[in-house]
C-alpha cells in the first residue's frame, strides 16, 4: 500500500544526467588527455533519492566493476549500507573519522578521508591491526574551516599521514565554501590556496596522487577547478545549483506528490492551522494534504509557497506535523485530486530551487528533507 504522499524517483533521468555530465566534461577537457573522473555524491540517502537504488543505477552506466565511477558518502555507516546492498564501486567517505569505528573501513573496503593528524593516527592503527594498507584521500582546508589540514600549516601537520606505510594517499581534495556565489572572492582564493597546497605536498615527497575540488557549482563555474575528478551532487539529481549559462542540461529526478483528502469552506475572519497561521480575508475554500513537517515540508512554506492542483497554483496557508492546508478558493478541486509539491503538472512546474527560495535555504536541504515515511517509487528496472 502506498501512502497518498510519495516521491517519484526517475532513475532513467538520473542515468541521463550522469551521462550528460560525463559528455560535458569530455567535450571541454581540451587540455587533458582524459576527462575528469566523476565522484558521484550520494550522501544523506542520495539527497533523499535513496542511496542504494541510486548507486545501483549509476553502476549500471559504467562497464566492468563500476568502470571509472566512484561514489561518495558522509560516514562509514552510509558506506557499509551500500556494501551490504551489493554495491561494488569504490566509495569515498567524506566525514571526520576520529570518533568512528574504523574497522568498518577495512572490512567493507571503503576509502576514508584523512583530515587531521588524529585521524591519520587512528587509521594507521586500524590498518596495522588488520595487517593491511589503507588507500585514503587527504583533505586540505582552504577556507571552509570545517574538516581538513589547514592549507598554511601542511608542513607541520601532514607528515604524520605521510610517514606510515600503512596509509597510501591516492588523492588530495578540498571543499569550496562559496561556489554558488559568483561574486564572492573566496572561491578563487580557495582555488589558489589549494594549488599551493598541492605543490607543497609534492615538495614533501607525495608524488603520485590525484586531486579533486569541484562540486556541481564549481564544475559549471570554472574549468580550472576540475583537476582529476569532480564531485557532482545536485547536478546528478537534475537541479542546476546556480544561474550559470551552460550547455549542460539535466532532468529532475525527484517529484513529490500527494492527494487532497479533504475540502472545507471558511467564513471571513476564520482561521486555519496552529497559532492561527491563516486568517480568511474572504469566504474561502481550503484543501488538506496528508503531508506536513514530519515529511519534510517546512513550516515557513505557509504564506509564501504554493503547490500545483489541476495545473494551477494553490497557496500554502498552514503546515502541521502530518498535514498541510492550501487555499483552493480559485481552483475547482475535490478529494482525491493529485497535488504536486515538487515537480510538473499541466504547463507549470515547481522545482527544488524555487521551494528553497521561498524559505531562504538551499535546494540540497529541500531534497534531503524528504521524510523517511514518504515511500520512494522508482520507475525503472534498476534493482
Can you read off the three cell numbers belonging to residue 116? Answer: 587531521
The kind and range of the H/E element at 208 are none
274 annotated active-site: yes
CB-based contacts of 60, cutoff 8 Å, min separation 6: 15, 382
**What distance lies between CA 252 and its chain's CA centroid?**
13
Calculate helix-pair angle for 11-27, 51-61, nearest 10 degrees: 50
Torsion (CA) 66, 72, 76, 82 in degrees, nearest 10: -40
Please pick, among 43, 47, 139, 227, the residue that the annotation labels catalytic: 43
* 3-state SS assignment for residue 337: coil
Length of the chain: 383
The kind and range of the H/E element at 220 are helix 216-221
Residue 134's CB is within 10 A of a number of other CB atoms, namely 23
* 3-state SS assignment for residue 190: helix
Please pick, among 24, 237, 264, 274, the residue that the annotation labels catalytic: 274
Active-site residue set: 43, 274
Amino acid at each position: 500500500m502506498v501512502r497518498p504522499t510519495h516521491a517519484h524517483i526517475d532513475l532513467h533521468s538520473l542515468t541521463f544526467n550522469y551521462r550528460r555530465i560525463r559528455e560535458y566534461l569530455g567535450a571541454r577537457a581540451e587540455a587533458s588527455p582524459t576527462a575528469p573522473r566523476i565522484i558521484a555524491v550520494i550522501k544523506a540517502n542520495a539527497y533523499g533519492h535513496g542511496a542504494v537504488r541510486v548507486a545501483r543505477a549509476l553502476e549500471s552506466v559504467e562497464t566492468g566493476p563500476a568502470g571509472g565511477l566512484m561514489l561518495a558518502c558522509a560516514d562509514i555507516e552510509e558506506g557499509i549500507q551500500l556494501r551490504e546492498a551489493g554495491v561494488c564501486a569504490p566509495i569515498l567517505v567524506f566525514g571526520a573519522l576520529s570518533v568512528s569505528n574504523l574497522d568498518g573501513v577495512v572490512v567493507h573496503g571503503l576509502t576514508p578521508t584523512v583530515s587531521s593528524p588524529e585521524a591519520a593516527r587512528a587509521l594507521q592503527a586500524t590498518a596495522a591491526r588488520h595487517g593491511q594498507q589503507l588507500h585514503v584521500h587527504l583533505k586540505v582546508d582552504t577556507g571552509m574551516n570545517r574538516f581538513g589540514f589547514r592549507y598554511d600549516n601542511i608542513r607541520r601537520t601532514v607528515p604524520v599521514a605521510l610517514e606510515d606505510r600503512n596509509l597510501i594517499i591516492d588523492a588530495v581534495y578540498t571543499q569550496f565554501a562559496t561556489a554558488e556565489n559568483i561574486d564572492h572572492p573566496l572561491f578563487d582564493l580557495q582555488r589558489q590556496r589549494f594549488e599551493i597546497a598541492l605543490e607543497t605536498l609534492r615538495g614533501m615527497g607525495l608524488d603520485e596522487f590525484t586531486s579533486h575540488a569541484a562540486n556541481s557549482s564549481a564544475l559549471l563555474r570554472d574549468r580550472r577547478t576540475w583537476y582529476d575528478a569532480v564531485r557532482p551532487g545536485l547536478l546528478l539529481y537534475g537541479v542546476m545549483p546556480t544561474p550559470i549559462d551552460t550547455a549542460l542540461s539535466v532532468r529532475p529526478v525527484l517529484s513529490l506528490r500527494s492527494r487532497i483528502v479533504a475540502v472545507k469552506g471558511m467564513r471571513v475572519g476564520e482561521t486555519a492551522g496552529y497559532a492561527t497561521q491563516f486568517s480568511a480575508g474572504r469566504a474561502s475554500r481550503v484543501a488538506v494534504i496528508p503531508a506536513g513537517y514530519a515529511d519534510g515540508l517546512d513550516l515557513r512554506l505557509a504564506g509564501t509557497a504554493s503547490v500545483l492542483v489541476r495545473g494551477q497554483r494553490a497557496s500554502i496557508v498552514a503546515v502541521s506535523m502530518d498535514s498541510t492546508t492550501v487555499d483552493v478558493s480559485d481552483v475547482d478541486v475535490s478529494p482525491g485530486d493529485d497535488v504536486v509539491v515538487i515537480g510538473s503538472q499541466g504547463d507549470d512546474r515547481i522545482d527544488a530551487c524555487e521551494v528553497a527560495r521561498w524559505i531562504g535555504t538551499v535546494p540540497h536541504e529541500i531534497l534531503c528533507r524528504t521524510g523517511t515515511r514518504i515511500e520512494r517509487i522508482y520507475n525503472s528496472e534498476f534493482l
